[in-house]
Amino acid sequence: MSRITCLVIAFAVALTALAGTVAAQQDSSPDKQAQLVADRAIADLAAWKNQSARNYLQKQKAKYGTTPQFQTAWALLEIQEGADGKKALVTSGETNLSKMSKTPSVDAVAAYFYGEILYQQKKREEANAAWQAAAKSAAAAVKADPTDATAQFYLGAALVRVKRFEEARTALRLAVRGGFDEPMVNHQIGLSYLFAEKWKEAKDAFDLGLSVDPRYAPMYFYRAMAWDKLGRKADMLIDLDQYVKLAPNGPDAGFAKAVLKSSGR
């Protein structure tokens, strides 16, 4: 084979690869691109890495700021940044999250997190209704596209909250296989075992999640709950202390601080 023929073949292969890349980019809809941006920011927020989420969203705001996906992530950022006493931020975030929970392109994501807010406010029936709505919407999205890792994750997360644990774990494992944020998935799998009172399995899931991301604050809190049930009080206190250090304004920080204080730490 001549050198010229080899060059022609190599050029043709390069063009084919480039065409495939362009086609893949074109296949990624604006909604999908915006959701990937939101997913990344929400992964930071779920771990209570608020500044990292803010920095990332600020960089993406010019391009995606008007999308429902971005607005959902921004609402969550406002709620968490307002947790240190900025009530106006919290109110703005909750209002926008409620609005997004009724917006078809993001309703599963927003409804799931809105359920979390309602639960923290001790509005248990409203929270359960939000999680049921999130599960229904995510299930429809999964039926339409079983490869939608975001939909699989929120289906699993919502099912954890409505105590359908086996189904939840199936969806969550499909989510991580599809490329969804692994620590978020491990956290939810841990919760599914914790809520089912399977303390060892819960602890193991949190161990796995923290081995991937040792700064994922909520997992320390919930692993502390598992340590407590396993009779490992010293380990419980170590994890509660780490949670408070990483998320001093987190939703469970007050409880964690009280336990630490009562133990003399």
3-state secondary structure 111-147: HHHHHHHHHHCCCHHHHHHHHHHHHHHHHHHHHHCCC
**Are 46 and 218 spatial neighbours (Cβ–Cβ below 8 Å)?**
yes
pLDDT for the residue 175: 98
pLDDT for the residue 28: 65
Task: Summarize the confidence of residues 174-180 as an average pLDDT.
Answer: 97
Task: Summarize the confidence of residues 198-221 as an average pLDDT.
Answer: 98
Handedness of CA 256, 126, 153, 43 (dihedral sign): negative
User: Hunting for tokens 């939810």 — which residue is that?
Assistant: 188
Handedness of CA 141, 146, 150, 155 (dihedral sign): positive
Task: Summarize the confidence of residues 26-31 as an average pLDDT.
Answer: 68
Looking at the predicted structure, is the pLDDT value of residue 198 above 90?
yes
User: pLDDT-derived band of residue 13, with 50, 70 and 90 as boundaries?
Assistant: very low
Residue 36 belongs to some domain of the structure = no
Angle ∠(123,129,135) on CA atoms, nearest 5:
135
pLDDT for the residue 84: 87
Looking at the predicted structure, is the pLDDT value of residue 22 above 60?
no
Residue 7 belongs to some domain of the structure = no
Residue 27 belongs to some domain of the structure = no
Report d(CA 208, CA 215) in Å as an integer: 13
Residue 11 belongs to some domain of the structure = no
Domain range holding 247? 190-265
Looking at the predicted structure, is the pLDDT value of residue 66 above 90?
yes
Report the number of distinct structural domains present in the chain.
Answer: 1
Handedness of CA 190, 196, 200, 201 (dihedral sign): negative
Task: Summarize the confidence of residues 222-249 as an average pLDDT.
Answer: 97
Residue 49 belongs to some domain of the structure = no
Other CB atoms within 10 A of residue 238 CB: 16
Q: Is 49 helix (H, G, I), strand (E, B) or coil?
A: coil
Residue 223 belongs to some domain of the structure = yes
User: pLDDT-derived band of residue 167, with 50, 70 and 90 as boundaries?
Assistant: very high
Q: Is 66 helix (H, G, I), strand (E, B) or coil?
A: coil
**Are 147 and 178 spatial neighbours (Cβ–Cβ below 8 Å)?**
yes
Looking at the predicted structure, is the pLDDT value of residue 157 above 70?
yes
pLDDT for the residue 14: 39
Residue 8 belongs to some domain of the structure = no
Report d(CA 203, CA 191) in Å as an integer: 9
User: pLDDT-derived band of residue 111, with 50, 70 and 90 as boundaries?
Assistant: very high
pLDDT for the residue 30: 86
Residue 258 belongs to some domain of the structure = yes
> By CB neighbour count within 10 A (0-12 exposed, 13-18 middle, 19+ buried), where does 93 fall?
buried
Looking at the predicted structure, is the pLDDT value of residue 208 above 70?
yes
Report d(CA 147, CA 206) in Å as an integer: 25
Task: Summarize the confidence of residues 168-177 as an average pLDDT.
Answer: 98
CATH code of 204's domain: 1.25.40.10
Task: Summarize the confidence of residues 68-86 as an average pLDDT.
Answer: 95
